[in-house]
Chains A and B, each alone.
Chain A
Amino acid sequence: MAGSPSISRRLLFARIGTYVALACAVLLVLFPIYWMVITSLKLPREIYRVPSLWPQTITWNNYRILLEDKGFLVALRNSLLVAGSVTFISVVISSLAAYSLARFRYRFRGFVGRLILFAYLTPTTLLFIPLSILMARLGLGNSLHGLILVYLTFSLPLSTWLLQGYFRGVPKELEEQGMIDGLTRFGALFRIVIPLSAPGIAAVAIFTFTGAWNELLLALVLITSESQRTTPLALNYLITSDVLPWGPLMAGAVISSLPLMILYFVAQRFMVQGMTAGSVKG
């Protein structure tokens, strides 16, 4: 590094400043996560009476309390069921739609594209009242089936929007070659386009799963009986009770973020690409 000493010293200071700023930011990001984890591992005495930044004794008591209450396990199962079904349904039917939008030119294509964006940007806040009326009328109120159906309102637009971007990236020539070799249109979609867009489809599946796993407002409005509660709902009712169950609450928080955190570390690269391609809400 040639250069006058004052310039290199300035660079050195700038570099140190960068690291200090980033370290502070990481600390601020990690502290709440740290607090969630240690609160879930603390005895009530250490949470309320003699609070400490480091737990003196580690206990699995909060997890035991939470899991012995069958309600939380049922809620976890319901959440897995709902998020899994929503993901499967919406990946399948939005793949078809996305392929149609990415490959063909037709009269209502622009209209469909606009409908999808409009649906993507229409907030749940506006839809939850009419949707609850609609689900009651269809006999799907207070049921996981109804929940799966209404979750399609946010999952379908997002997955179709993202998938059409991925499908456009698959060269048309590959498909044409496949069709010359005897594949049908469907064959070309399933044997060529979908395998080549696998990373994109994985990202879309993760986003859809996450969206359904996290949803609170529609579940709060539609689900009335305890046996149909999803995880966010079960934890929501934990804080509206009179006692302060911080220990079990944070145990529930850790358990319900675990699947997503694991997904995040495994598939981070795809997810970041997908997020910046389609502007995915958190």
Chain B
Amino acid sequence: MTQPRTASPKPRFSAATQDQLFAYGLVLPVVLLLLGLVAYPFFYAIWVSFTNRVVGNDGVFIGLGNFRYLAGSPAFFSAIRNTIVLVVVSDILKLAIGLGLALLVTQKIAGRGLFRSMLMLPWAMPAFVAYLTWRVLYQPIGGGINLVLTQTGIYPEIVDWLGQRQTAMPSVIVAAVWRGFPFWFVSILAALQTIPGELYEAARIDGANAWQRFRAVTWPGIRQVVIITTLLSSIWTANSFEHVWLLTQGGPSDATMVFPVLAYFGMQTQRLGEAAAVSVAMLPVLAILVIFATAMMTSREEQD
């Protein structure tokens, strides 16, 4: 930085400084865009949640007013409960199905490439297409699920899966698992393939049974991937809008109401302060998940 200006034949900056400036220059557009489009809106959302802003009126600071209002709203409590149920149940199912199928496909069987491509298909489909399709599948009239159940005699009555309180949430979960399990399946499959085969041989020679081999060899090999996938999947599921919106719009009578849909409804009624408060209210839990995920992803990056 302290190059004498008089040394005219030499470049103005040393090679190392030039490299530094070059590096900053390259990264600058992304940094500016992310500061402007993510960091600023992030803090702005928190500010708006403490105001009584509506569309067309910036409103004033009202402290915890919006949060106090939410604390007295039944829809908000439905959203908390439903979001937790959706995240926990669908994560468990996706883990079980993804792990199970990955263990099956990792065996030396004929057609494993074909099985893998087929099982990945829901992930390749656009999410909105997947949920619109499930919406049609669940219909009492024109829906494939009722048709299969009645024609095979498994369940003789037509069920309005998305229209009843008891069945709406399980139906949303099934659709979300269908669309989401391939991500777990492939992540776990990739981790399984990094486990050296000799470890299994050694365990077998030591007389370990299948469960002991899983505990001692398989699980340590995939643990980190499972934890990262769980964190990411929880963050995404808790913040997904389209599954609930396209299937039930939060109904019937808030039985499937979740945070993102509630925030969107708040926005539709033009009460921006309250709507922002809904998404900010889930921030503490989200922050914990994000901090863990960031830590794990950077440590994995550094190991590579």
Counting contact residues on chain B (CB < 8 A from A), the size range is: 35 or more
A123 touches B242 (CB 8 A): no
A152 touches B33 (CB 8 A): yes
A47 CB within 8 Å of chain B: yes
A133 touches B44 (CB 8 A): yes
Chain A's nearest CB lies how many Å from the CB of B13? Answer: 14
* Tally of contacts, chain A with chain B, CB under 8 A: 272
Counting contact residues on chain A (CB < 8 A from B), the size range is: 35 or more
A58 CB within 8 Å of chain B: no
Within 8 A of B (CB), among A58-110: 93-94, 96-97, 99-101, 103-104, 106, 108-109
Contact residue among B22, B115, B128, B297 (Cβ-Cβ distance under 8 Å from A214): B128
Q: Is the interface of A mostly helix, strand, loop or mixed?
A: helix
Instruction: Decide: A96 near B29, CB < 8 A? Known: A210-B126, A250-B136, A260-B124.
Output: yes
Give Cα A99 to B229, complex, Å: 27
Within 8 A of B (CB), among A189-221: 210, 213-214, 216-217, 220-221
Give Cα A166 to B276, complex, Å: 37
B242 touches A216 (CB 8 A): yes
A52 and chain B: residue at smallest CB distance: B147
B3 CB within 8 Å of chain A: no
User: What B residues does A133 contact at CB under 8 A?
Assistant: 44, 48, 272
A96 touches B26 (CB 8 A): yes
User: What B residues does A52 contact at CB under 8 A?
Assistant: 147
Give Cα A150 to B104, complex, Å: 41
B130 touches A115 (CB 8 A): no
Instruction: Decide: A47 near B142, CB < 8 A? Known: A21-B104, A217-B242.
Output: yes
A111 and chain B: residue at smallest CB distance: B31
Against B, the Cβ 8 Å flags (1 = close, 0 = not) of A243-282 are 0101001100100110011001100100010011001111
A129 touches B124 (CB 8 A): no
Chain B's nearest CB lies how many Å from the CB of A125? Answer: 4
Chain A's nearest CB lies how many Å from the CB of B226? Answer: 12
Give Cα A93 to B31, complex, Å: 10
B122 touches A18 (CB 8 A): no
B37 touches A131 (CB 8 A): yes
User: What A residues does B85 contact at CB under 8 A?
Assistant: none
B132 touches A116 (CB 8 A): no
A26 and chain B: residue at smallest CB distance: B118
A174 CB within 8 Å of chain B: no
A129 touches B275 (CB 8 A): yes
A171 CB within 8 Å of chain B: no
A261 touches B124 (CB 8 A): yes
A48 CB within 8 Å of chain B: yes
Instruction: Decide: A26 near B115, CB < 8 A? Known: A185-B22, A246-B136.
Output: yes
Contact residue among B124, B129, B232, B246 (Cβ-Cβ distance under 8 Å from A279): B232
Enumerate chain A interface residues (CB-CB to B < 8 A): 15, 18-19, 21-22, 25-26, 28-33, 35-36, 39, 47-48, 51-53, 93-94, 96-97, 99-101, 103-104, 106, 108-109, 112-119, 121-134, 149-150, 152-153, 156-157, 160, 165, 168, 185, 210, 213-214, 216-217, 220-221, 232, 235-236, 239, 244, 246, 249-250, 253, 256-257, 260-261, 264-265, 268, 272, 275-276, 279-282
12 contacts between A and B (CB under 8 A): A30-B121, A39-B136, A96-B30, A99-B26, A116-B34, A119-B38, A125-B241, A126-B239, A127-B42, A130-B40, A217-B242, A257-B126
> In the complex, given contacts A119-B38, A119-B39, A125-B239, what are 7 additional A-B residue pairs having Cβ atoms less than 8 angstroms apart?
A18-B104, A22-B104, A134-B41, A156-B34, A217-B241, A235-B132, A253-B129
